[in-house]
Amino acid sequence: MATRRALIGAGLAMPGLARAQAPFPNRPIRMIIGGPPGGSGDIGARLLAGKLTTLLGQPCVVENKPGATGALAAAEVSRAAPDGHTLLFTASWHSTSAVIKATLPYDTLNGFSFVSTLTTYGMMLAVRPDSPYETLEDLIAAAHRNPGKLTYYSVGIGSAHNLIGEWLNVATGSEITHVPYRGSGIALPDFLAGRVDLMIETMTVALTQVKAGKARPLAVTSTERLADLPDVRRTSEIFPGFTYDSWLGLLAPPNLAPPVMEALNRGVRETCAMPDVVARLHELGAVPAPCSPAEFRARVESEIAHFTRIVETRKIPKQD
């Protein structure tokens, strides 16, 4: 209960604050996620919620609220009281939605308090085991010889999968055709059947396929090579500057009180230091990545700026 005791102590040191606001948390915490159960975001949310329940001394309950690519959940949290009892567990779509959506029912940056990221993980570029392309350079060379013939799949226009694919086109001067799907579960059968050439996927999905012998990795976009696949190169080793780490993280309503922010940020940091959490994230191809609120906001700002340039270069229209 160290986090809770520290916060209560902070309240006692400031009598005016203590009178105005009860110690945090004083009731169950709702952690809302904008996707269905079972995905990587849901797994991360439930992992963190279970640990915060112990650390903060109040139940932290995950609520799945899918719809509008997470916008319904984000909008609800953005409008909630800034007392720390309503939180948003979100992913890098928070950045990409700001780039690709024509309108959003919230302000991506100023409509939230950025608590911390929980984890980061790269994306994987892979082909089927029977593919003629042994390396990423082989695939790019084929794309140059046959512009528009090769294809990659994504889980939707404006998804990180899509934007990385278009970044690859920009970085290499190639023209690999985007084939959007409504989710990995729908895209994978077409990829495995040979109807799509290139997989650009989250580690959670891609590692499963690689370990099952159904996909051959060409590169990972992460800052570091994967411990489980040390021979697979990073994209930046092939094309300098091509590095991308997706993330899962915790947001709160805007204007969160500093003691509440401190308690939540400390809770994430303590969670990330727990051996069972580190092991579980490793299984998902991810690493613990706690950070300060300022660092988290700066990450989102940087991603928005970078992917805006990609969208403009590739002339991808805004989506309703």
42: pLDDT strictly greater than 80: yes
Q: Average pLDDT in the 17-45 region?
A: 83
Residues 6+ apart with CB under 8 A from 59: 28, 29, 53
Same domain, 235 and 267: no
Residues 135 and 217 in one domain: yes
pLDDT at position 319 over 70: yes
Q: Tell me: do 134 and 223 sit in the same domain.
A: yes
Q: Using a pLDDT cut of 70, give the percent of the chain over it.
A: 93
Q: Is 80 exceeded by the pLDDT of residue 90?
A: yes
Contact assessment for residue 101 and residue 158, using Cβ atoms and an 8 Å cutoff: yes
User: Apex CA 217: angle with CA 177 and CA 129, to 5°?
Assistant: 85
Report pLDDT for 9: 42
Residue 86 clears pLDDT 90, i.e. is over it: yes
Q: How far is CA 230 from CA 20, 236, 278, in A?
A: 54, 15, 18
Q: In this structure, are 116 and 135 located in the same domain?
A: no
> Per the structure block, which two tokens stand in for 153?
């799949």
Boundary residue ending a domain (193, 216, 244): 244
In a domain, 44, yes or no: yes
> Is there a domain that residue 320 lies in?
no
* Residue 28 sits in the same domain as residue 63: yes
- Among 220, 244, 268, the domain-final residue is 244
Q: How many domains does the chain have?
A: 2
Whether residue 128 is found in the same domain as residue 92 = no
Same domain for 153 and 102, yes or no, is no
- Residue 147: pLDDT over 60: yes
Kindly report the CATH number assigned to the domain that includes residue 220. 3.40.190.10
| Predicted pLDDT of residue 311 | 96
- One domain, residues 251 and 113: yes
Is the separation of the CB atoms in 213 and 126 below 8 Å?
no
Share of the chain above pLDDT 90, in %: 84
Question: Is 152 a member of any domain?
Answer: yes
| Res 177: pLDDT | 98
pLDDT recorded at residue 17: 39
Q: What is the CATH number of the domain that holds 278?
A: 3.40.190.150
Give the pLDDT band (50/70/90) at residue 299.
very high
203 lies in the same domain as 254: no
**pLDDT single digits (tens) 1-23:** 444 444 444 443 334 333 445 78
Listed residue (192, 264, 162, 208) closest to 40, CA to CA: 208
Residue 87: inside a domain: yes
User: Which structural domain range is residue 176 located in?
Assistant: 122-244
More confident residue, 284 or 39: 284
pLDDT tens digits, 201-231:
998 889 999 999 999 999 999 999 998 899 9
Residue 238, domain member (yes or no): yes
* Mean per-residue pLDDT of the chain: 92
CA-CA distance, 319 to 312, in Å (whole number)? Answer: 13
pTM for the whole structure? 0.89
Q: Per the domain annotation, does 273 fall within a domain?
A: yes
C-alpha 214/C-alpha 128 separation (Å) is 6
Contact by Cβ (8 Å): 240, 79: no
pLDDT tens digits along 149-193 = 999 999 889 999 999 999 999 999 999 999 999 888 899 999 999
